[in-house]
Copies of this chain bind each other. A is one copy, B any other.
Amino acid sequence: MARVVVEVMPKAEILDPQGQAIAGALPRLGFEGVTDVRQGKRFELEVGDDMSDDQIAAIAESLLANTVIEDWKVVRVS
């Protein structure tokens, strides 16, 4: 078995209201010095050792990310 991480983040040109809400809340809660926050998703997949990068890319693209508004990246952890 191998562990694969898929990181999904809103594209740079897409507004991220969740991240903006966090960035706005931080100074009110006493945390200064954070200028921008973007929120995305992180998936940890346990996959068979024979699973190819192409197969994982197909899963990320078709099921885990909305490629209209999100970028995704695959990181093999082990």
Contact = CB atoms under 8 A, between A and B. Distances in A.
B47 A34 contact: yes
B39 A43 contact: yes
A42 B1 contact: no
* Copies of this chain in its oligomeric complex: 2
Interface in A25-48: 25-26, 29, 31, 33-48
Contacts of A7: 42
A69 interface: no
Contacts of A59: 26, 31, 34
Interface of A: 1, 7-9, 19, 22, 25-26, 29, 31, 33-48, 50-51, 55, 58-59, 62-64
